[in-house]
Amino acid sequence: MTKYQQYAELKSQIKDLQFQAKELEGEIFGEISDMDGSKLETEYATFSVMYRPKWKYSTELSNKEEQLKLKLKQMKKQEEADGTAEQVSGGGILRCQIKDSK
C-alpha cells in the first residue's frame, strides 16, 4: 500500500467515523435530556448536556453585519492589490478528494 492510498483510506475512515459519532451524539443528547438534562456517568466517560443561549437579531442588524463583512472583504482585497498587505506565507494545504469505489 502506498502512502497515497493509505492517506486516502485514513481520510475516508475519519469521515465515516465522524458521521457515526454525530449520529450517536444525537442519541446520547436525547437520552440525557430526557432523564434530567444534566449528566450521565459511565465507566467510559462522563457525558453532560450544556445549554447556551442563541440569539436571533433584527433584520436591520443582520443586514448591517453583512454590509460590514462585504466592506471588510473589499478593503482586504484592495490592500492585497496595492501592496499594503504583506503576504506572510504561501499557505499551502494538502487537498485530497476521495474517489468513489462504487
Q: Which is more confidently placed, 37 or 77?
A: 77
Mean predicted confidence (pLDDT) in 23-44: 88
Amino acid making up residue 29: F
Strand (E) positions, the chain?
39-41, 46-48
pLDDT of residue 37: 64
- Residue 11 CA to residue 14 CA, distance in Å, equals 5
- The answer, yes or no, to whether residue 24 has pLDDT greater than 60, is yes
Q: Is the pTM of this model over 0.85?
A: no
Break the chain into its structural domains and give their ranges: 7-67
